[in-house]
Amino acid sequence: MSEDLMDYQAFVERAMKGVVRDVLLQVAEEGLPGEHHLYITFHTEHDGVEIADRLIAQYPDEMTIILQHQFWGLEISEDAFEVTLSFSGKNERLYIPFNAVIGFADPSVNFGLQFKTTYVDDSNEDMPDSADSRPPEGLSTELAKSDDARKKTADEKADGEQNIGEVVALDAFRKNKT
């Protein structure tokens, strides 16, 4: 097999992140319809991510946010989105470039996307082949929620904290065809 000089994987990744952007644009304009709710997982240390230091300390590698009932000021640009969420009763503004997103799911309709992790900064400098497609050790790029975890959304927990950062295989969303 010959070398992929077209870099088809990069084209697919950009197209899938376009889906995330388009969904967020619709949610910003019209709100979440029906039972839809969104889980977005991103690298907290990715270039351009702006979140409170206390959240980075709590989630040093990746974090999953939930857009369901309590989110405010969702704004979408070409390369990023911003949203205000409540963490332990304190509102925090998050700025997340789409390049930092590694997972996106809407469990209400069994839809999910996961993205190949790349660590290329925005300056477009070339990275060695061994680094461009492999996440660091221990860093998961899978996103999904089991039915039990979905039931514990932010507004249902007694302590007021969101269930953030738990990841399981996407197979949890797939319907059994047998």
Each residue of 63-76: pLDDT tens digit?
999 999 889 999 99
Residue 91 phi/psi, 5-degree rounding, is: -75, 135
- Is residue 80 a contact partner of residue 95, using CB atoms and an 8 Å limit? yes
CB atoms near residue 35 (< 10 Å)? 10
Q: What pLDDT is recorded for position 138?
A: 32
pLDDT tens string 23-46: 999 999 999 999 999 999 999 999
* Dihedral over Cα of 127, 132, 134, 139: its sign: positive
Q: What pLDDT is recorded for position 118?
A: 54
What long-range pairs does 26-33 form, CB within 8 A, spacing at least 24?
27/67, 27/74, 28/74, 28/75, 28/76, 32/67, 32/68
Task: Give this prediction's pTM.
Answer: 0.66
Q: What pLDDT is recorded for position 6?
A: 87
The HSE-up count of residue 27 (CA atoms within 13 Å, CB side) is 26
- On the 0-12 / 13-18 / 19+ scale of CB atoms within 10 A, 175 is exposed
Spans of the chain, pLDDT less than 70: 117-178
- Spatial neighbors of 97 by CB under 8 A, at least 6 apart, are 46, 47, 48, 49, 79, 80
* Separation CA 106–CA 8 (nearest Å): 26
Q: What pLDDT is recorded for position 132?
A: 33
